[in-house]
A and B are shown apart, each in its own frame.
Chain A
């Protein structure tokens, strides 16, 4: 069984004039293409639905290239006017626990326009992978964004396996899915906790925070490491996922899932919580699609887009994947999608344990390479589609390109802040689930 096949297409279609240094591939379902420009390091998905035309998209992505140091993520055309000044928020602020700056154009209270400045913590990780063996590179890839480690490593390994033509044991793919679903639930719960904190819902914050901690402890028990670092690579910490361990898990999961249901129904009954996120930074479907938004941000404005369904891959082909969707496009819709995805992740974990492969050691052929020695790997990370493009020669990494969900969603967040007020900031920011570490890789 093959996992996916990509067809090369003419890159000049997306980027006239620069097509010669770029490569594009069409997805098996023909629904979209992947565009990679290696000189500038940009890479993005192109969908037929893009309204403003791929040329301007390509131009926008070129601004987020590999330049060192702080740089704007997205457009910087600030509003001018009497009394309007730039309020720089960051790079150090505990409101956003990572380092990055938000340049807010304002005359006080209302945000007239905003631009996000990233690159403060750029670590040049991808460039440093060249020459390393795949497993050693994996140790660095999982530290690109620690809270999305399972998604990053799974996409990276899928790309490397495709590049090398390595068959993969089926059980390994299931273990990757277990780690990814636990981390999806954790990250969505973390978003809910942060929003509860901003809304001063202290009991809700404590309960959501406690549930997130329990998921980290579960991960620590199964993988030996609270963030599953190393656990999906060769020679990682011993796992506790054999038959006896798996037998105990469903009871634990249903306790956690019942706790989540109770918690979420209390949140939905809290007007102070809902009022702060309803209509906050509402984005139209056209705007998000045109800007190339991904993940819960995209699904919250009525686009049923999820890589777990779009790119048929084991084990998701054997499971029922729920696809939560909302149409509001505001912070409430994004949070509702996330809450539904927590539910869906608990259900997927139960299904994974229930339908564990009879012969987990049996091998599966990897995806077709897109060129000799070069493969693509894609997963649905907690905040959206994540793509890795890995070239390998003689078992060592030659080049790695990646397109992370935060790269796609940061410019949309900056644009969306237009006309919001200062107090909306944290609700808006957390609802996008953005991580600077993913753009400063």
Chain B
């Protein structure tokens, strides 16, 4: 086939690329192996070797703190596999600590922005990220995810924003600009922490000069774990804020 001679032809030939998520479950190619949180294979406990192999202290004998897991795969050698649900975002930090044995608690917290169900404007703030989360969030605009189909828009001013989407582990220098951006937003408003950095400090947890969590600086309304989370996981976090997310997918065992 000869190359397209116009943008229109090029676009028409590619056809529709857009994901059916959230109407349909996430397709395999949309979620890489590390897009699911680890769970022990077969058994219902984490062995002491697995707990010791975890460089970020996410694994315990009886459960995993998804808010710390950086998906480094060190635990795979000790009898784990990536098989948690794709819908990882939670409205409560405590719910990110998931026991291996019991099924995850259903989301029972009230969605904070339920009145803005049809349209959300998002303001992205980087307070100390490696740039991967920034790019995954911006990838929501690409034709594969096309967040505008769900009424989600990025805005360039906090004054037009409903959601403050924060990526990175908070540095001292960004605390004040972050607070000012939050104060400039009209109510009702919500804060979404994207990636394990703003949730727990991630791989940099406990480093000198960094705040340990975004919740020390601002009230956080929803948490999207992952390092970095995939675009669909960020989408899930945004939909949870307005109460439109699918229930958590059953874990295959």
For the complex, what is the distance from the CA of A165 to the CA of B53, rounded to whole Å?
25
* Residues of chain B contacted by A224 (CB below 8 angstroms): 32-34, 73
Contact B32 A225 (CB under 8 A): yes
For the complex, what is the distance from the CA of A176 to the CA of B112, rounded to whole Å?
44
Contact A229 B3 (CB under 8 A): no
Q: How large is the interface on A (under 10, 10 to 19, 20 to 34, 35 or more residues)?
A: 35 or more
Docked complex: B115-152 residues within 8 A CB-CB of A = 123-136, 138-139, 141-144
Contact B72 A236 (CB under 8 A): yes
A99-B174, A123-B128, A146-B228 known; A220+B207 contact, CB < 8 A: no
Say yes or no: is B212 at the interface (Cβ < 8 Å to chain A).
Answer: no
Docked complex: B36-92 residues within 8 A CB-CB of A = 53, 55, 70-74, 76-77, 82
Contact A147 B132 (CB under 8 A): yes
Instruction: Give the Cβ gap from B30 to chain A, nearest Cβ, in Å.
Output: 8
Nearest chain A residue, comparing its CB with the CB of B125? A92
Contact A94 B156 (CB under 8 A): yes
Contact with B along A213-257 (1 / 0, CB 8 A): 100110011001111011001011110000000000000000000
A: residues with CB less than 8 A from B are 68-70, 91-95, 97-99, 119-125, 127-128, 136, 139-140, 143-147, 149, 190, 201, 203-204, 206-207, 209-210, 212-213, 216-217, 220-221, 224-227, 229-230, 233, 235-238, 258, 261-263, 265-266, 270, 435-437, 440
* Residues of chain B contacted by A206 (CB below 8 angstroms): 11, 142-143
Contact B74 A145 (CB under 8 A): no
Q: How large is the interface on B (under 10, 10 to 19, 20 to 34, 35 or more residues)?
A: 35 or more
For the complex, what is the distance from the CA of A440 to the CA of B210, rounded to whole Å?
13
A91-B177, A224-B32, A238-B33 known; A140+B204 contact, CB < 8 A: yes
The stretch from B164-172, B214-222, B241-249 touching chain A is: B164-172
Contact B11 A124 (CB under 8 A): no
Contact A217 B29 (CB under 8 A): yes
* Residues of chain B contacted by A99 (CB below 8 angstroms): 125-128, 168, 174, 177
Kindly identify which residue among A122, A143, A145, A262 contacts B171, using a CB–CB cutoff of 8 Å.
A122
Say yes or no: is B10 at the interface (Cβ < 8 Å to chain A).
Answer: yes
* Residues of chain B contacted by A229 (CB below 8 angstroms): 34, 70-72, 132, 227
Contact A128 B204 (CB under 8 A): yes
Most chain A Cβ neighbours within 10 Å, of B29, B34, B202, B207: B34
For the complex, what is the distance from the CA of A266 to the CA of B7, rounded to whole Å?
7
For the complex, what is the distance from the CA of A190 to the CA of B128, rounded to whole Å?
21
Say yes or no: is B181 at the interface (Cβ < 8 Å to chain A).
Answer: yes
A121-B173, A210-B144 known; A146+B127 contact, CB < 8 A: no
Nearest chain A residue, comparing its CB with the CB of B122? A94
For the complex, what is the distance from the CA of A276 to the CA of B88, rounded to whole Å?
42
Contact B130 A143 (CB under 8 A): yes
